[in-house]
C-alpha cells in the first residue's frame, strides 16, 4: 500500500465556492445559476463566485462592477458571515472526528495530518473519500481534497480537480505531473512574478527544479532555494494545529491595488473577525496584534502592538487593529496589494478564568460578540461593516 510508504499522509481540504455554495444550499432557486457573493455597491468586491459564474471570468477579490459586467445574468447576494461561520464550525467538527492534527488555513480550508489513521480508518484515499462523503451527507456541500506526503503537494493537489475533486500527489505524480506545472502555482509566486520569470525562460516547476541554489538566489533572492525544493516536491513543514501555533493570521491579496483606505479597513475587519473566531474556538488569547501591508511594488511593511492584556474578543482585537491601521494610513496611505492581520504571543485561556474573573465590561463584550454574529446572520456582513466605519475615530 502506498499509504504505508510515505513518511506522512497529509490531506488539504478546501470547500468548493464556499459562500456561494451555502447560498445555493439555503436558496434552492439559486442552484445551477451564476451567483456572486459580495457587497453590491460601486466599490464592492466579490467574495466568491459560484462555479456557474466562473466560466465568465468571475472570481474572488474582483471588483463587483467588473464581475457584473462579465456576467450580467449573475444573481448578486450579500455576505452572511454568521451563517458561513456556523457551517465552518460543523466542517471543523468533522475534521476533528478524524484527527486532532488539523491546521485551519481559512474559514473553509485546512490541512489534516492523517498519518497512522489508516490503520483506524482504512487506506488514505479511502479516508479522503469518506471525508468527502461525510461533508456531502452532513453539510450538503462539496469539498475538494488533495492527498500527498506533504503540505505543499497536498495544497497543489486539492486545486487540480475542483470542484468535488480528489487528487493524489504521490511519488509517481511527483515525477509525471509536477515538472509540467506552471510556476504561477508556486506558493509565494504571483502572476506578475511568473511573468517576469517567463522573461528569464522560467516557466515550469521543472525549470525551477533544474536550477542550482545559487542560480535560484540570483533570481528570487533568499527565498530562491525554497522555491527549488518545493518545485522538486520537497516540503518539511509540519501540520500545526491552532492550539500549538505561535500565531493565527489571515491575509488577502487583492486582484487590483485597492486605492481606498475604507475598502481596506472593511477587509481587515473581516480578518479580525475570522482570527478571533479561531482564537475562541481553540481557547486561546492573543498578546499581540500584527498587521501586514504589501504595496503594488511588493514592498511589505508590518505594524505590531502588544495588548494590555491577552484577549480573544473581537472588539478588543479590532480596536487595536484599527489603531495600527489608522496610524499607518494617516502616515501616508498608498494603494494596497495585500492586507493581513495576525494574532501572536498566544496563551491558553484558563477555563477557570472564563467566568469567574470576568468583569462586567468583559461580559458585555462577550455578549456583543454573540449579538454581532446574530446581526450578521440576519442582515449580512455589510450591515455591520458600514456602521463600523461611520464610528468616530480617535
Q: Residue 150 in contact with residue 235, Cβ under 8 Å?
A: yes
Sign of CA dihedral 200, 203, 207, 212: positive
Residues 95-124 close enough to bind Mg ion by CB under 5 A: 108
Question: What number of chain residues touch ligand TTP (CB under 6 A)?
Answer: 17
Minimum distance from residue 15 beta carbon to ligand TTP (Å): 5
Q: From the list ligand TTP, Mg ion, none, which binds 323 (C-beta under 5 to 8 Å, kind-based)?
A: none
Minimum distance from residue 17 beta carbon to ligand TTP (Å): 4
Scanning 14-22, 86-94, 325-333, 356-364 for contacts with Mg ion by CB under 5 A, the matching segment is: 14-22
User: Which residues are identified as catalytic?
Assistant: 109
Beta-bridge partner residues of 37: 48, 77
Q: Site for Mg ion (CB under 5 A): which residue of 10, 14, 95, 149? A: 14
Minimum distance from residue 74 beta carbon to ligand TTP (Å): 14
Binding flag, residue 15, Mg ion (CB under 5 A):
yes
- Print the binding letters for residues 16-35 with ligand TTP: x by CB under 6 A, - otherwise: xxxx----------------
Q: How far is CA 115 from CA 118, 120, 125, 192, in A?
A: 7, 10, 12, 37
Q: Site for ligand TTP (CB under 6 A): which residue of 11, 14, 124, 264? A: 14
Task: Single out the residue of 46, 88, 23 nearest to residue 267, CA to CA.
Answer: 46
**CB under 8 Å to 116, separation ≥6 — which residues?**
none
Q: Site for ligand TTP (CB under 6 A): which residue of 9, 24, 48, 226? A: 48
Task: Spell 113-143 as b/e; 16+ CB within 10 A means b.
Answer: bbbebbeebeebbebbeebbebbeeebebbb
How far is 365 from 361, CA to CA, in rounded Å? Answer: 6
Binding flag, residue 373, ligand TTP (CB under 6 A):
no
Minimum distance from residue 240 beta carbon to ligand TTP (Å): 20
Residues 146-165 close enough to bind ligand TTP by CB under 6 A: 162-163
How far is 258 from 144, CA to CA, in rounded Å? Answer: 30
Minimum distance from residue 21 beta carbon to Mg ion (Å): 9
How far is 215 from 203, CA to CA, in rounded Å? Answer: 15
Closer to Mg ion by Cβ: residue 163 or 206: 163
Closer to ligand TTP by Cβ: residue 13 or 148: 13
Which grid cell sits at 213? 541554489
Closer to ligand TTP by Cβ: residue 14 or 242: 14
Scanning 15-23, 27-35, 279-287, 349-357 for contacts with ligand TTP by CB under 6 A, the matching segment is: 15-23
Q: From the list Mg ion, ligand TTP, none, which binds 105 (C-beta under 5 to 8 Å, kind-based)?
A: none
Q: What does DSSP assign to residue 62?
A: S
Closer to ligand TTP by Cβ: residue 17 or 202: 17
HEC profile of 142-211: CEEEEEECCHHHHHHHHCCCCCCCEEECCHHHHHHCHHHCEHHHCCCCCHHHHHHHHHCCCCEHHHHHCC
How far is 99 from 101, CA to CA, in rounded Å? Answer: 5
Q: What is the dihedral of CA 346, 347, 353, 354, to 10 degrees?
A: 40
Scanning 106-114, 122-130, 193-201, 366-374 for contacts with ligand TTP by CB under 6 A, the matching segment is: 106-114
Minimum distance from residue 251 beta carbon to ligand TTP (Å): 10
Residues 50-69 close enough to bind ligand TTP by CB under 6 A: 60-61
Q: Site for ligand TTP (CB under 6 A): which residue of 24, 47, 204, 271? A: 47
Note the residue count of the chain. 394
Phi, psi of 10 (to 5 degrees): -115, 135
Would you tell me which residues interact with Mg ion (CB under 5 A)?
A: 14-15, 18, 108
Would you tell me which residues interact with ligand TTP (CB under 6 A)?
A: 14-19, 47-48, 60-61, 106-109, 162-163, 252
Amino acid at each position: 500500500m502506498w499509504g504505508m510508504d510515505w513518511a506522512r499522509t497529509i490531506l488539504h481540504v478546501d470547500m468548493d465556492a464556499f459562500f456561494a455554495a451555502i447560498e445555493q444550499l439555503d436558496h434552492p432557486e439559486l442552484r445551477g445559476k451564476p451567483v456572486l457573493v459580495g457587497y453590491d455597491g460601486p466599490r464592492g468586491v466579490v467574495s466568491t463566485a459560484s462555479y456557474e459564474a466562473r466560466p465568465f471570468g468571475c472570481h474572488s477579490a474582483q471588483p463587483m462592477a467588473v464581475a457584473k459586467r462579465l456576467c450580467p445574468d449573475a444573481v448578486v447576494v450579500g455576505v452572511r458571515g454568521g451563517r458561513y461561520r456556523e457551517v465552518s464550525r460543523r466542517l471543523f467538527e468533522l475534521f476533528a472526528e478524524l484527527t486532532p492534527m488539523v491546521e485551519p488555513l481559512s474559514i473553509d480550508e485546512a490541512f489534516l495530518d492523517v498519518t497512522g489513521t489508516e490503520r483506524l480508518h482504512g487506506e488514505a484515499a479511502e479516508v479522503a473519500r469518506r471525508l468527502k462523503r461525510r461533508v456531502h451527507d452532513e453539510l450538503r456541500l462539496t469539498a475538494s481534497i488533495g492527498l500527498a506526503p506533504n503540505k505543499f503537494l497536498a495544497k497543489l493537489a486539492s486545486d487540480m480537480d475542483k470542484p468535488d475533486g480528489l487528487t493524489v500527489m504521490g511519488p509517481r505524480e511527483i515525477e509525471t505531473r509536477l515538472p509540467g506545472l506552471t510556476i504561477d502555482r508556486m506558493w509565494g509566486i504571483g502572476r506578475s512574478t511568473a511573468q517576469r520569470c517567463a522573461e528569464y525562460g522560467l516557466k515550469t516547476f521543472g525549470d525551477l527544479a533544474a536550477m542550482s541554489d545559487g542560480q535560484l538566489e540570483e533570481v528570487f533572492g533568499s527565498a530562491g532555494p525554497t522555491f527549488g525544493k518545493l518545485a522538486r516536491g520537497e516540503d518539511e513543514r509540519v501540520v500545526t494545529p491552532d492550539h500549538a501555533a505561535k500565531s493565527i493570521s489571515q491575509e488577502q491579496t487583492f486582484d487590483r491595488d485597492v486605492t481606498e483606505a475604507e475598502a481596506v479597513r472593511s477587509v481587515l475587519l473581516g480578518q479580525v473577525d475570522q482570527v478571533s473566531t479561531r482564537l475562541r474556538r481553540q481557547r486561546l488569547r492573543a498578546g499581540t496584534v500584527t498587521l501586514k501591508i504589501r504595496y503594488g511594488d511588493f514592498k511589505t511593511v508590518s505594524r505590531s502592538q502588544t495588548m494590555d492584556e491577552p484577549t480573544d474578543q473581537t472588539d478588543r482585537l479590532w480596536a487595536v487593529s484599527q489603531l495600527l491601521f489608522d496610524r499607518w494610513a494617516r502616515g501616508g496611505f498608498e494603494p494596497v496589494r495585500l492586507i493581513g492581520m495576525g494574532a501572536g504571543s498566544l496563551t491558553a485561556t484558563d477555563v477557570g478564568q472564563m467566568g469567574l474573573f470576568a468583569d462586567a465590561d468583559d461580559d458585555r463584550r462577550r455578549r456583543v460578540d454573540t449579538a454581532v454574529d446574530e446581526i450578521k446572520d440576519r442582515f449580512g456582513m455589510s450591515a455591520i461593516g458600514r456602521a463600523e466605519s461611520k464610528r468616530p475615530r480617535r
